[in-house]
């Protein structure tokens, strides 16, 4: 194996845990006013703050609802306003553990991020306030018929690729950005706030399953779209739980052995990476689980001989940003040719996945973006075709596009996302 000779920092969003936040135990919604540190803000928080004032309870990190350094009756008033959706400002902890106070209502928003932020805001019907987006969003007019018409604020969310003067010109109340690491890119935040310290910068991933539900909830509170946020979270959980319930008790020796590639030939991830997490969410077993990757968002190049030796039962190859497919084309040629190239690799005829034609190519966006339940559904159907014979990943994908994004796009007629196609399995 070539080991860690070459590490690729992945420019896409991915999972770092197998369970969404809402399924995790002891989940705490990181909004000030959540005094009892549970998953919501409600009357129980008012009672808890009364207990702090009366010296019955100890103060918590989030009990200072108006974030003024004191816990008093004003915090009870703030919690009451939050419950009613009438607060004039709200203080949250974003996904980079930054405490940010946002004034409401938010009237102007810039998305300085990948498509995941746009997907999330559009799904929550919270996109009307958006006034500027990155080119990666403008390049997806099918997904974002309105957002793609907005002014560009740069190519993508990296420090030297954003147009900071344009951001300032658009006069946002809030800039949404993020990254593929749990450590925020301080340069982006600092450069925006150096232009105008009144601009609030929120850092989210908008696609990591262990964080996504929490981020959706926070966006729901910030934009007064709590019902819509709850609906999206429930939709995610419904589809992921259906899979989890069927695979959770599979014996280890009956789990499908999987080799997964992302973006380039022979690049994969092992224990502690998102790539393995997605495999495990669908009940599979990563044949490279023992390799060391320098972080959950990084890939390691492996030796082809090692792949042959580990003899996976399923091979997955994910095409990245260079793949001009997905919603933009109806032709599966690129996906088909990539699959054929993999099956024709030297020595791969000895691999069980190739012998049984269980080699699949797919658009990485249906796995790594905010619609990851779609990708996990394809995984599950490919890993266990009998167990999931009634699972319809394309129908799940269509429901998301129609119900949440509100776009008129018929997947039975358009798009190129997986090969072999679901309706023509091998």
Sorted by where each begins, the domain ranges of the chain are 20-94, 252-419
CATH fold of 20-94, please?
A: Type 1 dockerin domain (1.10.1330)
C-alpha distances in angstroms, 342 versus 166, 270, 298, 327, 359?
Answer: 44, 20, 22, 24, 8
| Integer Cα distance of 106 and 189 in angstroms | 19
pLDDT value of residue 12: 43
Is it the case that residue 37 has pLDDT exceeding 60?
A: yes
| Integer Cα distance of 167 and 201 in angstroms | 12
Is it the case that residue 223 has pLDDT exceeding 70?
A: yes
Q: Tell me the pLDDT tens digit for each residue of 311-360.
A: 999 999 999 866 767 999 999 999 999 999 999 999 999 999 999 999 99
Residue recorded with tokens 């609802």: 65
| Integer Cα distance of 408 and 143 in angstroms | 9
Relative to beta strand 200-203, strand 257-262 is unpaired
CATH fold of 252-419, please?
A: Rossmann fold (3.40.50)
Average pLDDT over residues 101-120: 97
Is it the case that residue 29 has pLDDT exceeding 50?
A: yes
Q: Tell me the pLDDT tens digit for each residue of 4-19.
A: 333 333 444 444 444 4
Q: Tell me the pLDDT tens digit for each residue of 250-305.
A: 999 999 999 999 999 999 988 877 788 899 999 999 999 988 776 656 788 999 99
Is it the case that residue 379 has pLDDT exceeding 50?
A: yes
130 beta partners: 109
CB 244 within 8 A of CB 281: yes
Share of the chain above pLDDT 70, in %: 90
Mean pLDDT of the chain: 91
| Integer Cα distance of 384 and 281 in angstroms | 13
- pLDDT band for position 423 (cuts 50, 70, 90): low
Its pTM surpasses 0.75: yes
Average pLDDT over residues 212-240: 97
Share of the chain above pLDDT 90, in %: 79
Average pLDDT over residues 75-91: 99
- SS3 string, the chain, reads CCCCCCEEECCCCCCCCCCCHHHCCCCCCCECCCCCCCCCCCHHHHHHHHHHHCCCCCCCCCCCCCCCCCCCHHHHHHHHHHHHCCCCEEEEECCCCCEEEEECCCCCEEECCCHHHHHHHHHCCCCCCEEEECHHHHCCCCCCCCHHHCCECECCCCCCCECHHHHHHHCCCEEEECCCCCCCCHHHHHHHHHHCCCCEEEECCCCCHHHHHHHHHHHHHHCCCHHHHHHHHHHHHHHHHHHHHHHCCCCHHHCCEEEEEECCCCEECCCCCHHHHHHHHCCCEECCCCCCCCCCCEEEECCHHHHHHHCCCEEEEEECCCCCCECCCCCCHHHHHHHHHHHCCCCHHHCHHHHCCCEEEEECHHHHCCCHHHHHHHHHHHHCCCCCCCCCHHHHHHHHHHHHHCCCCCCCCCCECEECCCCCCC
pLDDT value of residue 284: 97
C-alpha distances in angstroms, 211 versus 14, 187, 317, 384?
Answer: 10, 23, 25, 27
């Amino acid at each position: 194996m070539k080991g860690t000779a070459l590490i690729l920092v992945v420019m896409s969003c991915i999972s770092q845990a197998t369970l969404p936040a809402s399924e995790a135990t002891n989940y705490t919604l990181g909004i000030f006013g959540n005094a009892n540190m549970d998953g919501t803000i409600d009357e129980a928080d008012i009672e808890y703050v009364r207990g702090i004032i009366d010296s019955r309870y100890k103060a918590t990190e989030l009990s200072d609802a108006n974030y003024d350094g004191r816990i008093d009756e004003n915090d009870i008033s703030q919690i009451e306003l939050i419950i009613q959706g009438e607060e004039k400002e709200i203080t949250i902890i974003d996904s980079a553990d930054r405490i940010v106070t946002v004034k409401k209502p938010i009237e102007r928003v810039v998305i300085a991020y990948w498509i995941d932020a746009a997907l999330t805001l559009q799904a929550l019907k919270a996109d009307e306030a958006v006034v500027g987006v990155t080119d990666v969003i403008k390049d997806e007019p099918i997904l974002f018929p309105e957002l793609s018409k907005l002014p560009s604020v740069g190519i993508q969310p990296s420090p030297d690729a954003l147009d900071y003067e344009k951001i300032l010109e658009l006069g946002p109340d809030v800039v949404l950005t993020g990254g593929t690491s749990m450590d925020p890119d301080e340069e982006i935040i600092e450069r925006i706030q150096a232009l105008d310290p009144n601009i609030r910068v929120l850092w989210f991933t908008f696609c990591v399953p262990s964080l996504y539900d929490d981020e959706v909830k926070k966006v729901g509170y910030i934009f007064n779209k709590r019902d819509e946020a709850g609906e999206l979270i429930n939709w995610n959980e419904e589809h992921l739980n259906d899979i989890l319930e069927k695979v959770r008790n599979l014996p280890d020796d009956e789990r499908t052995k999987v080799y997964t590639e992302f973006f380039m030939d022979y690049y994969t991830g092992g224990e502690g990476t998102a790539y393995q997490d997605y495999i495990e969410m669908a009940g599979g077993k990563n044949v490279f689980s023992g390799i060391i990757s320098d972080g959950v968002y990084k890939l390691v190049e492996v030796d082809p001989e090692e792949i042959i030796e580990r003899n996976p039962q399923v091979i997955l190859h994910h095409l990245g940003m260079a793949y001009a497919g997905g919603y933009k084309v109806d032709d599966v040629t690129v996906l088909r040719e990539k699959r054929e190239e993999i099956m024709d690799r030297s020595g791969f005829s000895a691999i069980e996945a190739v012998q049984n034609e269980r080699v699949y190519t797919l658009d990485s966006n249906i796995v790594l973006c905010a619609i990851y339940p779609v990708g996990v559904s394809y995984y599950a159907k490919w890993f266990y075709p009998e167990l999931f014979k009634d699972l319809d990943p394309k129908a799940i994908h269509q429901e998301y596009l129609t119900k949440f994004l509100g776009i008129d796009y018929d997947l039975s007629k358009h798009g190129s996302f997986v090969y072999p196609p679901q309706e023509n399995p091998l």
